[in-house]
Amino acid sequence: MSYHFSALFLALIIDAIIGDPDWLWRKASHPVVWMGHIISKLDERFNISTDGQDRRRQKGLYTLVFLIALAAGFGLFLQFLIGDLALSWILEAVVVAIFLSSRSLYDHVARVAGKLENSDLGEARVAVAQIVGRNPETLNRAGVARAAIESLAENFSDGVVAPALWYLVAGLPGIIVYKMINTADSMIGHKTSRHLDFGRATARFDDFVNLLPSRITALLCVMAFAFHHGIRAARKAWRIIRNDAAKHRSPNAGWPEAAMAGGLDIALSGPRTYEGKSDNEPWINQNGRKKIDHNDIKMALRLYATGVLILAVVVGFYGIVV
């Protein structure tokens, strides 16, 4: 257990400093890209539109089981390979860092803030399209800023806390299985006519593996608010979590989003257009400011960075204690 905490602590530092360098992944595709290729091929091969509902759900379940087995097997192979080498925990930390995305998430969201600050709405829409699924062409300045903050909150859980937690639970197989599931959910877990049945098992399992991480992420956000703005802001964030987290369409994303909305006193979620369809989503922190801009994104980024730092300190401290 101490081995895993030490490796995760180093991985968090590596990811925060280096992130995902373009020069590296231009030469060799990121493992998540390979996961995406595999999922895409399975989707094309087994998700047949002429199959009945039950048959598509069955094939979707078999696909999920195969993806989990493949990821777990690869993780076990890596762990066995690294375990026999000198300074194995350092090498393992490098592998773990590859599956974390704290720096890349920060950079993507900061790019949106920079474009808005320069009054370049068109480029801001292009930048935010890289981190959200909705159509950016329909978003005004406040909509772009809101989308960026929502993505920051949700991906704090999906891209940092969840992979870190599952690594602590099950080592390299745990973090690689999690990334496979999360990648599959982003590709086939949508409630569209094509994936409603085939991706049903994947979407539900993704909800399960993110259940605890999303709550931990919300707690980290509350702690970050207490550090930056005092107990009053932290209490406001916690109150909005309790009142509004369950209003979100996702059983998990509402937790970190509600924390951000409450602490920053802004309204998140709300009506939106997703894949060409208008959804009348309820507001999270409805009475919060709806006119938000790049300054709110910058504050959210500071809080996010503090939350990641708190996570690293807790992991490092526990690694020393145990």
> Which residues, at least 6 apart from 292, have a Cβ–Cβ distance to it below 8 Å?
142, 145, 146, 149, 266
> Which residues on adjacent β-strands are paired with residue 289?
266
DSSP 133: S
Q: In Å, what is the CA distance from 139 to each residue of 114, 125, 144, 249, 266?
A: 17, 7, 6, 20, 17
pTM, two decimals, is 0.94
Q: In this predicted model, which residue has the larger pLDDT, 211 or 26? A: 211
Number of H helices, E strands in the chain: 14, 4
Taking alpha carbons only, the member of 26, 63, 25, 23 closest to residue 47 is: 63
- pLDDT tens for residues 214-271? 999 999 999 999 999 999 999 999 999 999 999 998 999 999 999 999 999 999 998 8
pLDDT(6) > 70: yes
Tens-digit pLDDT profile for residues 165-180: 999 999 999 999 999 9
The Cα–Cα gap between 65 and 120 comes to 45
